[in-house]
Amino acid sequence: MSLTLPSGLDIRAPLAPGFEEILSPEALALVAKLHRAFESRRQELLKTRVARQAKIDAGEMPDFLPETKQVRDGDWKIAPLPAALHCRRAEITGPVERKMIINALNSGADSYMSDFEDSNTPNWFNQIQGQINLFEAVRGTISLEQKGKSYKLNDKVATLLVRPRGWHLDEKHVLVDGQRVSGGIFDFALFFFHNAKEQLARGAGPYFYLPKMESHLEARLWNDIFVMAQDALGIPRGTIKATVLVETVLATFEMEEILYELRDHSAGLNAGRWDYIFSCIKKFKRNSDFCLAERSKITMEVPFMRSYALALVQACHKRGAPAIGGMSALIPIKSDPVANEKAIAGIRHDKKRDANDGFDGGWVAHPGLVSVAMEEFKAVLGDRPNQWEKQRDEVFAPKDWLNFVPEAPITEAGLRNNINVGIHYLGSWLAGNGCVPIHNLMEDAATAEISRSQVWQWIRSPKGKLEDGRKVTAELVRALIPEELAKVKATVTAAGEATASYEQAAGIFETMSTADDFAEFLTLPLYEALQ
């Protein structure tokens, strides 16, 4: 199969049947147009991240930006939202896999975030087949025959939102003028080109989630991309609406500025808790005073997470924007009624807290949890679709977001769990599955990042000691890896899966957790090995 490609654009990947419809000359021309206009800015912003990290490594702590004080003090609101985005009490998330898309849209959730990023292994097939799946979903034609069952869409489905990849990720298979394109621009442009007008004709619109931004300037880049893309298709400016995931600690200091930059295209903010925890570890990994307890102890109730969540609600409602709560990793446990009851109780607690705090909705990772989340938000909101009118009057300061406790416990069981989850997730990711139930929790790239970054930091921090007094060392980690690998292989073998990728994953986990240099994202080196 061959494609007619725009001048200067090259695709270095195989073309499966149907790919030519997504990779049309007109759609790829939009990719090339956006790349040529904005790639230099993306690269500059990535350099700014590196420079800012160097300052933090040298001891500088983040604070509010003096140059944007007028934005924080100003009297402004985001643009009015379309009716399709007024009610988002229960949002379900998942990868762009066909069965997941059908089940999520049919789940009874108000909206569904279909993910090209953390819950998706971004190999070439997944990215393009995911676009095909969404193309059919937008038109109501998506279906699946699997194991004697038929899957198709109901008459009433959730509102679709799409998450493209973050600024740090390239699409290595597509080059423009010899240069890789941004994964985020690639994902956005293809979906927008093929579906925006169809969505508008059906009473919705092109709605997105934007991940892993660290500053308002990164939000400004997205806004400028939206303007150019809408102009290119002859769609009114402001038609695109995007929710920003506040999942980096630096973005917390610029939440109002981010809303301002996207004010004509904003659909609010989301408290992306798992990436947020990873961001805190990553940003302060070389600070000898910083050391978090094992992952299970870092809940939404600890001070730095609690203040971040409440500040997000405050910023959103001050500016007339939705505030969406993040996702508990708990999932239903069909094989154990007692454990399942405990998991459901945990979900209820999570959503009840968020609803009472002022969030307008929250995420779940499984269709079986939609009704639970919906019940808890309806208990607070009643018949209202949201609670945008609820204002919070706390005064938050940097000390609140930088109050990194608890520092203990760090147990051998917690260390082993990080190693086990890291190996298991990496092995599944390499095999093409970016969203994996492990130990009755739904794991994605963000939770795997916590696992490997905590181990890296515990090795180097003077506070990285187990409860019994032993220091976490590279030697200890290397000794535990074969034991945890054996457990992972036994688990996946029992599930009928191949184990080759898990051997590779164990080696990768060892390298990434014990090397002197810290890899900014585990997906960056892994992506180079993907087809």
Query: Looking at the annotation, which residues are catalytic?
Result: 163, 444
C-beta neighbour count of 265 within 10 angstroms: 25
- The b-or-e profile of 197-224 (16+ CB within 10 A means b, else e) is bebeeeebbbbbbbbbbbbbbbbbbbbe
Helix residue ranges, H only, 369-499:
370-381, 398-401, 412-430, 445-460, 474-494
216 to 50, 367, 451: CA distances (angstroms): 16, 34, 28
Tell me the three-class secondary structure of 135-178, residue by residue.
Answer: HHHHCCCCEEEECCEEEECCCCCCEEEEECCCCCCEEEEEEECC
**Distance (Å, whole) CA 278 – CA 479:** 24
Residue 272: both structure tokens together: 């992306």
C-beta neighbour count of 29 within 10 angstroms: 17
**Distance (Å, whole) CA 316 – CA 396:** 14
For the chain, how far is it from start to end, CA to CA, in angstroms? 18
Residue 366: both structure tokens together: 């499984």
**Distance (Å, whole) CA 250 – CA 248:** 5
Q: Which of 230, 248, 101, 94 is nearest to 167 (CA)?
A: 248
**Distance (Å, whole) CA 7 – CA 246:** 37
**Distance (Å, whole) CA 98 – CA 115:** 12
With contact defined as beta carbons under 8 Å apart, do 24 and 135 qualify?
no
Q: Which residues contact 405 (CB under 8 A, 6 or more apart)?
A: 302, 303, 304
Q: Which amino acid is at 325?
A: G
Q: Which of 421, 451, 429 is nearest to 530 (CA)?
A: 429
**Distance (Å, whole) CA 468 – CA 466:** 5
Q: Which residues contact 462 (CB under 8 A, 6 or more apart)?
A: 288
Phi-psi region of 48 (alpha: psi -120 to 50; beta: other; left: phi over 0): alpha
**Distance (Å, whole) CA 410 – CA 293:** 5
